[in-house]
Amino acid sequence: MLKQIEGSRAVAEAVALCRPEVICAYPITPQTHIVEDLGVRVKSGRLQPCEFINVESEFAALSVAIGSAAAGARSYTATASQGLLYMAEAVYNASGLGLPIVMTVGNRAIGAPINIWNDQTDSMSMRDAGWIQLYAESNQEAVDLHIQAFRIAEAISLPVMVCMDGFILTHAYERVDVPNQEQTDKFLPAFEPRQVLDPAAPKSIGAMVGPEAFTEVRYLAHHKQMQALSFIPEIAEEFKAVFGREAGGLVATYAIDDAETVVVTLGSVIGTMQEVIDDMRSEGLRIGAVSIRAFRPFPLAALQPTLENAKRVVVFEKCLAVGLGGILASNVRMALRGRAMPVYSVIGGLGGRPITQSSLRRLFTKASNDDLEGLHFLDLNKDVVNRALEREESIRRSGSIAENILRDIGLVAAAKTT
């Protein structure tokens, strides 16, 4: 059914269609409307049987889901940003225990300095926590990915993180085709756990494993993710057969057939990029894009053919491995090993900075002329950076970088008006 609906509420509808049995959430750090909406559904009786539990921290939220999933209940929670880091220990634990929890991450920045806006540093910090990570391009895809996520999680007994850009998707009103219950039930069977806490058949879960078996356990975690590389596209195909539209899978391509410059990215920025690419193609520039939809497992094999004809690759991402550069870029370079061609790592949109068409157009023009440094920060204000460095050079007690820069920007702006 077509609806003009906020991203968070559309996801809440999708999660409700999946008949979750336990939903637990710490509602803040930061908040989206997803769990609020689900809370209303449970309390009004529209989503039953389901337990909705308000907890005191993100760490407790995922811990409750660990308990409920281990006891055989389909379990869901949502978080983002600082909250995801606060639950980090439980994030690793849920995957280590093989519990098929589904969690939405409404991607946002990580402080300090505190910042509530969108980038993907939060989920990227958990990229090696053993969860499957899916990234949504649009609210429609966010809805569709959640329905697929329960299916994937329960089939291979691993937790799935559905990542959708904070604000840009979670708070945006868009037209979304919300599936109906009949379709969803057809696609998603009842949860049949691989392991369950039950007095009728007592089992111990979470025992200590020493050097004699730990490597094998970790190998199997990797093996399961490798299996997911074939399972995720299968599920996407099956989804298409039931719901009549494409969503998910490992990678999606846009105008790459004759492209000399291929941009690789993930998340909602692909929407803006497609418009820029259309414009630039009409001017004769051979440029295309690849969107990574499953970041874990990383689709090395699926990515390689999409970059086969490229003369250069631009990896664009909203996160930064401080001291290295792009996180996605490092992964993409693995897919390009043995290929001699420029790979540009571009960091943009940090802490909610808008990624404009004009900035992207300038970026892509420079890249297609091979006039770009290996690591580039989109719209970086070098004057501000240089002044901050000068302050640190000249004054020992130069103070907080963030506050100094704010004052600096404020002073410059004030000087202009006078």
Partner 1 sequence: MAHQQIKFYQTGTFTVGNRLLDQQLRTVQATADRSNSLDSGHRACQGCGEALGARFAIDAAMRATDNQLIATNATGCLEVFTTPSPESAWRIPWIHSLFGNAASVATGVAAAMRVKGRSEVRVIAQGGDGGTTDIGFGCLSGMFERNDDVLYICYDNQAYMNTGVQRSSATPGAARTATTQPIGDQPGADFGQGKNVPLIAMAHDIPYVATASVHDLHDLEAKIIKAMALHGSRYVQIFVPCPLGWGAHPQDTIKIARMAVECGLYPLFEAEHGEITNATKIRSRVDVTEYLKIQRRFAHVFKNPDQLAKIQAIADANIQRFELLSTVGNGQ
Give the Cα separation of 363 and 314 in Å (integer). Answer: 9
Structure tokens at 211: 């050097």
Q: Which residues contact 276 (CB under 8 A, 6 or more apart)?
A: 357, 360, 361, 364
Question: Is the Cβ of residue 72 or residue 352 nearer to partner 1 in the bound state?
Answer: 72
Give the Cα separation of 44 and 62 in Å (integer). Answer: 24
Question: Is the Cβ of residue 55 or residue 375 nearer to partner 1 in the bound state?
Answer: 55
Q: What minimum distance in Å lies between the beta carbon of 281 and partner 1?
A: 51
Whether the Cβ atoms of residue 191 and residue 72 lie closer than 8 Å to each other: yes
φ, ψ (nearest 5 deg) of residue 409: -60, -40
Question: Is the Cβ of residue 61 or residue 360 nearer to partner 1 in the bound state?
Answer: 61
Give the Cα separation of 182 and 28 in Å (integer). Answer: 33
Interacting residue ranges for partner 1, rule: CB under 8 A: 21-22, 24, 49-51, 53-57, 59-60, 63-73, 75, 89-90, 93, 97, 197-199, 201-210, 213
* Half-sphere exposure for 100 (CA within 13 Å, toward CB): 24
Q: What minimum distance in Å lies between the beta carbon of 25 and partner 1?
A: 12
Q: What minimum distance in Å lies between the beta carbon of 67 and partner 1?
A: 2
Question: Is the Cβ of residue 216 or residue 390 nearer to partner 1 in the bound state?
Answer: 216
Question: Is the Cβ of residue 54 or residue 357 nearer to partner 1 in the bound state?
Answer: 54
Kind plus residue range of the DSSP H or E element containing 25: strand 22-25
Structure tokens at 137: 């391009």
Q: Considering only CA atoms, which of 11, 270, 3, 289 is closest in space to residue 139?
A: 11
Q: What minimum distance in Å lies between the beta carbon of 47 and partner 1?
A: 11
Question: Is the Cβ of residue 69 or residue 132 nearer to partner 1 in the bound state?
Answer: 69
Q: What minimum distance in Å lies between the beta carbon of 79 and partner 1?
A: 14
Q: What minimum distance in Å lies between the beta carbon of 16 and partner 1?
A: 15
